[in-house]
Amino acid sequence: KQEVTQIPAALSVPEGENLVLNCSFTDSAIYNLQWFRQDPGKGLTSLLLIQSSQREQTSGRLNASLDKSSGRSTLYIAASQPGDSATYLCAVSPGTASKLTFGTGTRLQVTL
Amino acid sequence: SAVISQKPSRDICQRGTSLTIQCQVDSQVTMMFWYRQQPGQSLTLIATANQGSEATYESGFVIDKFPISRPNLTFSTLTVSNMSPEDSSIYLCSVGGPGNEKLFFGSGTQLSVL
């Protein structure tokens, strides 16, 4: 059974700092990995999707990497802003349109 | 990307009653998923709703407790039946995007059972 773990569970950083969120999964037979952002009352927003054959994806200040063989992914956020405050979830999929296994989430707070 | 409307956004219900949550998508999609997020926990898949066939439930979830309808390719409902306080959670529907890779989520239904 796939298990996904995220470290740290919570993180507080001052504005402008670069930060890294970690995600690990136990079964390397994944199709893709997604990073989501969850805001209270607003559901989940997909940030980045990395195919199993890819090493990284970038969108603006966000960069996600994937090391499938070691079962790890990182989400790098550059120059953090208070608007980045949210819970970040990683999730892995065993196949297309397939059910996701979610991590436990990292609650990020960026302070002024 | 798909736009998903989920209703209600929140509700407070009495023990023993049932609540039906609606999920409307702005485009036709083959598969829709229902997730539950218990307080302080991550998301857990309840079932996959396929148009034209019965929903497929994950381990620990049964149709009698969480009946699902999927009358067409843009709409689905999830009912939480005979509710107890343990059912207090956020319930979210999601759909696969083009190529069925990315998943898009509704804004969720915050359910509190007294």
Nearest-by-Cβ selection for B100 from A42, A96, A100: A96
**How far is it, in rounded angstroms, from Cα A2 to Cα B67?**
26
Name which of A43, A89, A98 is nearest B7 in CA terms: A43
Asked if B107's CB is within 8 angstroms of A99's CB, the reply is no
pLDDT at B41 over 80: yes
Asked if B103's CB is within 8 angstroms of A34's CB, the reply is yes
Whether residue B106 lies within 8 A of chain A, CB to CB, comes out as: yes
Whether residue B57 lies within 8 A of chain A, CB to CB, comes out as: no
Please report the pLDDT score of residue A58 as a whole number.
96
Asked if B102's CB is within 8 angstroms of A99's CB, the reply is no
Would you say B103 and B97 are in contact if contact means Cβ atoms under 8 Å apart? Answer: yes
Please report the pLDDT score of residue A102 as a whole number.
94
pLDDT digits (tens, 9 = 90+) for A67-107: 999 999 999 999 999 999 999 999 998 876 567 899 989 99
Would you say B58 and B35 are in contact if contact means Cβ atoms under 8 Å apart? Answer: no
Asked if A49's CB is within 8 angstroms of B42's CB, the reply is no
Please report the pLDDT score of residue B100 as a whole number.
52
Please report the pLDDT score of residue B21 as a whole number.
98
Instruction: Name the residue type at position A16.
Output: G
Please report the pLDDT score of residue B104 as a whole number.
86
Please report the pLDDT score of residue B44 as a whole number.
94
pLDDT digits (tens, 9 = 90+) for B46-105: 999 988 788 999 999 999 999 999 999 999 999 999 999 999 999 999 987 655 567 888
Residue B110, both tokens: 């915050």
Nearest-by-Cβ selection for B105 from A44, A49, A93: A44
- Picking from A98, A104, A106 by the largest number of B CB atoms within 10 A of its own CB, the best residue to mutate is A98
**Which residue do the tokens 């083009």 mark?**
B98
Over residues B12-27, the mean pLDDT reads 96
Asked if B100's CB is within 8 angstroms of A97's CB, the reply is yes
User: How many Cα atoms within 13 Å fall on the side-chain side of residue B6?
Assistant: 29
**Would you place residue A40 in the very low, low, confident or very high pLDDT band (cuts 50, 70, 90)?**
confident
Instruction: Name the residue type at position A23.
Output: C
Over residues A36-41, the mean pLDDT reads 88
Asked if B44's CB is within 8 angstroms of A102's CB, the reply is yes
* Mean pLDDT estimate for chain A: 93
Name which of B52, B46, B43 is nearest B65 in CA terms: B46
Q: Could you tell me the sign of the dihedral formed by the alpha carbons of A39, A25, A77, A64, in that order? A: negative
